[in-house]
Structure 1
Amino acid sequence: MKKITVGVIGAGRIGKLHVENMLQLPNILVKTISDPMLESAQAWGHERGIQQIVPDPQLLLDDPEIDAIFICSPTDTHVDLIKAAAKQGKHIFCEKPISFSDTETLEAYEAIKEANVKVQIGFNRRFDKNYARVQQCVTNHSIGQLHILKITSRDPEPPSLDYVKRSGGLFMDMTIHDFDMARFASGSEVTEVFVTGGALVNPKIAEVNDIDTAVISLKFANGAVGVIDNSREAVYGYDQRIEAFGSKGAAESRNEQETTVKLSTAESVSEDQPLHFFLERYNDAYICEIRAFFEAILTDTKPPCTFEDGIMAQRIAQATKESYETKKPVSVKFLS
């Protein structure tokens, strides 16, 4: 099997996760990591046998031995890096969202089409076995015609205010995964959104023009309706559930737990809390998504989560923000 040589831009939490997973895969060589926090990145990378740790991502982009680039840096760097990687003929894995600007995202879209490189966007939940099974129940009509899609996504604790300020907001940072899952699980485009919410966990989040709690109503092109509920703080753990309800039944995915044991006594009935956060909950999905990316490169096929998917999730996020600000339903702009 052909070896794929990889460069990773960004050695934060998600960049390190992808590197750790790639080191377990055969025929994948992580040659170079780029991160401005050079000393910290070098200490971490050298422990894992990666000798080339550099501050400037251009060194990765210019390296003819590198076949694919993982973009795990802050969102405001994505578009420039996508365009630069495409110009060099590198295949691209980019974390979500592509950008905060539809105009900039479309510029990157034109660049990757012109370069004819493989691009996959990091919507890892598509690769979770439970979510994928719900999606299969919809597409193979096990539940008949889809009527209602319900998604619950609640983090165990809120991020810092510094993070919130640069995150792009709840909808672009957190709910964007749920927007992609809504499209994926329903097999249909979201046509309209309406949202209500507020800063109920931490009132200071409102001071930076964001919220931490939301309920979002969705309309789908196939006639179904949906609802997403989000919170930045579920004190009992990482709450990740989905239900598809249709004319012949329903399919639901519950929370993952450390064990499935339920203890019943005269005093109480108890079971394990949900897994703590996304690194634990979606570890297998992260591995599956990068395997799918490399498989698309090796077989010259379309990645399973495309740039177009990234555009549409971003546009739903933008429409949701507009709905929150205007307190009105907002239509979602489709790709022409």
Structure 2
Amino acid sequence: MTYFLGIETSCDETAAAVFTDDLAVRSSVVASQTDLHARFGGVVPEIASRAHLRNLLPVIDEALARAGIGVTDLGCVAVHHTPGLVGALLVGVTAAKALSLALGVPLVGVNHVAGHVFACRLAAGRDIFPCVGLVVSGGHTALFRCDTALSLELLGGTRDDAAGEAFDKVAAVLGLGFPGGPAVEREAALGNPKAHRFPRTFLDTDRLEFSFSGLKTAVLYACHGQDVAKATPPGPGQKRADLAASFQAAAVDVLAGKCKQALRQTGLKRLAVGGGVSANGPLRAALTAMCAKEGAELFIPPLSLCTDNAAMAALAVEKWKRGEFAPPDLDAEPNFI
């Protein structure tokens, strides 16, 4: 049996996990930075990088301790090296390369987005490929044809904001705080999703693309009217709840609708959904209902594997089996590769 250490520092979660070559996750530790970024209403890259520097070694130590192994028991080190915030990625990549060199074990670079799809494979405990993959988070909203765990063909992505980014910005407009996804979902539970008919961009076209900028702007004007420069967030009440519910309904309709189109266009009968926004309850319900009607299998990981974590770096096992190791000069790549 080979033990792997996975490292994740692509954005604002410092994470480490231990897993084996048979995809058994022995530990998964995540140190959140939410409190550090809340006052800014979003992730500040420099703050994220400095927090990773402080947190990464203690997080790795805890992951090893929970797994009941020592660092010398590791047979491979895996790290998310793309995509993400370049300064944040560099912290994880540098640590992974140092450990690989010191221990004399292989290094495997993992695509963070592909890892989100692979989280569905981990949760399912069986092969889920080929499938349509939807990665929906604060930084990414994209559909893929996934013939294998390592083969992601981009079918279409967002033209502007990612869905999670739109949730964060709408939360700021409504004065709900950060992170926006859980805050909007809680507020939306109190409102009427039909109170406002917000735009559902590209929903009625065959293009497998997303756009949430117009939806975000529609919420802004519905909330404040034309004089947005002097506007202040609304207080608690039906207006705020209705705006949150109507926004969420529009975003969910688009995400579920585009997944349905992707299934039909590819002819595939499996849908794997990952990323932080996949934790949203109404989205999970909408995708469940849609897949039932389409006769498709739906794979969504538990909440602990939806948001950024290092367990999903177990995708490295697939590369390790094929001998696809990273070179010593593996670098952080902020853009999707």
TM-score using structure 2 length: 0.37
Work out which structure has the larger RCO, using CA pairs closer than 8 Å and 6 or more positions apart in sequence: 2
Larger proportion of strand: 1
Larger proportion of helix: 2
